Structure 1
Amino acid sequence: MINVLFAAKPERWVEYETPLKDALEAAGVTANVQTKFAPEEVDYIVYAPNSAVQDFTPYTRCKAVLNLWAGVESIVGNKTLTMPLCRMVDPGMTQGMKEWVVGHVMRHHLGMDRNILGQNGDWTPHVPPLAQDRRVTIMGLGELGSACAEALRDLGFDVAGWSRRAKDITGVTCLHGDDGLKTALARADILVLLLPKTAATENLLNAERLSWMPKGAMIVNPGRGPLIDDDALLGALNSGHIAHATLDVFRVEPLPKDHPYWAYPNVTVTPHIASETRTKTSSEVVAENVRRGEVGEPFVHVVDRGAGY
């Protein structure tokens, strides 16, 4: 029997104990899953970066660390973590993100705030363009970004995506690298940020790059707070160059009550709810990687330490 250490906050164990054990059994894996083992007896670690486990040196027989979070920026640089690290690519999280992004893109595309928030007796018809005439750019074409790009494409939007490496998605204009960045931003009537946080992506959306976007563009950020230079975005909102920003993630969370974003009528703050790891589907992802490790198949969703994700 193999030993699987669940290393996360106690309240997460309450949520995960049954789904994780059920998923391992369904995958044909006989495992002892607990929150405490002698480190030298652990075969796999199911991990949240905010757990008490920060030194992986004692886990001498551990075959892989299986992250419960999509983001790995707070753990990828840990020099004691020398075994494979797998990020969470959860179908439930992907579906939730797709629904949230499509909802807010449609909200901005249709100008729904005008009617929802503006019931003041002003009868001024405003007919939006068709989706085919609205250009949406997705920054980040990983699992989440690709799913959102495809969903928006299927609704008829003119969709482009930008990524560090070249990608190919049917019906989506795929741009990459430094050469493609300006083109991606220059055609973004609505910009969706779904990049990971790395040294290369921090403050990616700075004052210069915001200026490349069309006047009146809208930004939707469910990715990572540090992707945006906050002062630069506030400046672009003040000038009217950016019409609206819907932000779900921030450098400091919860967003401090005195942060300027709260006072801006053209900023929508949502409290990091765009998507969440779902216990059932994420448990199945973990179980599949444990199964793979036991039969000698390659792990899925292995983190590229050099790239940071």
Structure 2
Amino acid sequence: MKRLAVSADGPAAWESWRDAFARVAPDLPTISWFDPAFDPADASYALVWEPPVGEMARMANMRVILSTGAGVNHLVNRPDFPADVPLVRMGGDQTAVLMADYVMWAAIGLLRGARRWARDQEKHLWCNRPILRNSAETRVGVLGFGNLGAAVARRLAATGFIVSAWCRTPREEKQIPLFFGEEGLSDFLPSVDILVNLLPSTPHTRHIIDAELLSRLKPGADFINVGRGDHVVEDDLLAALASGQLDSAVLDVVATEPLSAESPLWDHPRITLTPHMASEASREAQAAYVAHVIRELEEGRAPPLLYRPDRGY
């Protein structure tokens, strides 16, 4: 049965999801996962974000589970996750454009010292700071060249930044110079002025942004994290900022979310924090993507953002 059961964001969000699907995919039958009359056997697909404990076990007979997030570690690492059911990550054009917009905003802000301007304004200081370089003189290095990493790298390059990217395995790419593997990482890092992290979270990438990696960047480089919070050793990040190895950082993700009130990240003068919203697409855009994925599956095609356990993303 081609029917979608919506669990994402809990029962209070059901009406907004229902209305979004009615607008963009009126031919797709949907039902609230939390409807007392709902039986999981009556649906082939489930849309989830953070289901209540135990709920994913009830999805064991689903054809496919779809996540409203690009990251799915919070799902696959749960004991109730039905490992035999395929899982599809969130994607779509709006998600990629939003991520590219965010990174462009962050890169320009770092380049022009926007954080310092904001702090000067709070203190009523009229301080004309010199601009040391422009975008055409700034190399942005993107860690990760998947769906979002590629969109970000190409947008930055089109705007005039010098762009390169690193990924684990070789692939074909005509627009952006790519580096591969550990040897490539050693060649990639030293020339980077702004490092953008868009890696997936896997056992190989957790805590990859540590003191050793940061020490290989150009002294005074900047850092943007829009990947995962567990990529970064936060004490090492703070130490790199204190030593001047890093000049500034923009963090959309942190290890523990929401960030604790006691975290030193809140008040650091050279850290800009945003609440994990870099590429959160609209309800309509997410619904349209989900409907497109379901059409692909009904036609026997595998969607490109199908979770691969062997890769960890």
TM over 0.5: yes
Superposition RMSD on alpha carbons, in Å?
Answer: 2.1
Residue-pair matches, total: 304
Match of 1:97 in 2: 99
| Paired AA for residue 111 in structure 2 | H
Identity over aligned pairs, percent: 29
- 5 Å-filtered alignment, 1:244-283, equals 244-283=248-287
CA distance in 1, matches of 2:256, 2:21: 31
Match of 1:74 in 2: 74
| Paired AA for residue 206 in structure 2 | E
Deviations 1:48-105, CA, capped at 9 Å, x for gaps: 2334554436643x21111111111112245523121111113222211111110110
| Paired AA for residue 86 in structure 1 | V
Pick which of 88-97 and 111-120 moved more.
111-120
| Paired AA for residue 290 in structure 1 | I
| Paired AA for residue 164 in structure 2 | A
Is 1:38 matched with 2:32? Answer: no
1:72·1:308 contact (CA, 8 Å) conserved in 2? no
- 5 Å-filtered alignment, 1:180-195, equals 180-195=184-199
1:39·1:58 contact (CA, 8 Å) conserved in 2? yes
Q: Which has the higher contact order (CA 8 A, sep 6+)?
A: 1
Pick which of 167-176 and 219-228 moved more.
167-176
Secondary structure of 2:153's counterpart equals: helix
Deviations 1:199-246, CA, capped at 9 Å, x for gaps: 111110111111001110110112211111111111111111111111
Secondary structure of 1:21's counterpart equals: helix
Consecutive unaligned residues of structure 1, counting only runs of 5 or more, are none
TM-score (norm 1): 0.90
1:55·1:81 contact (CA, 8 Å) conserved in 2? no
Deviation (angstroms), 1:172: 1.5
Deviation (angstroms), 1:299: 3.3
CA distance in 1, matches of 2:48, 2:240: 39
Is 1:136 matched with 2:134? Answer: no
Consecutive unaligned residues of structure 2, counting only runs of 5 or more, are none
Deviation (angstroms), 1:183: 2.0
Pick which of 290-299 and 224-233 moved more.
290-299
2:224·2:249 contact (CA, 8 Å) conserved in 1? yes
Secondary structure of 1:75's counterpart equals: helix
Match of 1:47 in 2: 48
| Aligned residue among 161, 164, 169 for 2:168 | 164
Secondary structure of 1:214's counterpart equals: coil
| Paired AA for residue 34 in structure 1 | S
